[in-house]
Structure 1
């Protein structure tokens, strides 16, 4: 079986983009920078877990 190098890159990209989007949205709505950063990290973890689960599902 060949190694697919796009999957880890997509996983990292989704985590970074979701962290950035969540942090910026929190800052726009007036949240403190530390709290927004923490919430952004939670968003990154959730986004990465969702992508990982989608990668693990077998295709029909």
Structure 2
């Protein structure tokens, strides 16, 4: 377990959930239905998680 950082997965989950909440709120304020807002928020959450994961792993690959 040496070299394992517990904060990376926690940060990844936190960013994904915060992105989903923010996008859902914005979509609902703009007048979208709850189902549409949820679908758009899910896509945004996946994109945010992938971007964050790629950024975290970029520095790790060079070592």
- Which interval holds the TM-score relative to the shorter structure? over 0.9
Which has more radius of gyration?
A: 2
TM (normalized to structure 2)? 0.89
Gaps of 5+ in 1: none
Number of residue equivalences: 60
| Equivalent residue number for residue 56 of structure 1 | 57
| Equivalent residue number for residue 11 of structure 1 | 12
RMSD: 1.3
Gaps of 5+ in 2: none
Question: What's the CA shift string for 1:9-30, capped at 9, x where partnerless?
Answer: 0000000000000000000000
TM (normalized to structure 1)? 0.93
| Equivalent residue number for residue 36 of structure 2 | 35
Partners in 1 of 2:59 and 2:30 — Cα distance? 39
4+ residue runs of structure 1 moved beyond 4 angstroms? none
Partners in 2 of 1:58 and 1:10 — Cα distance? 16
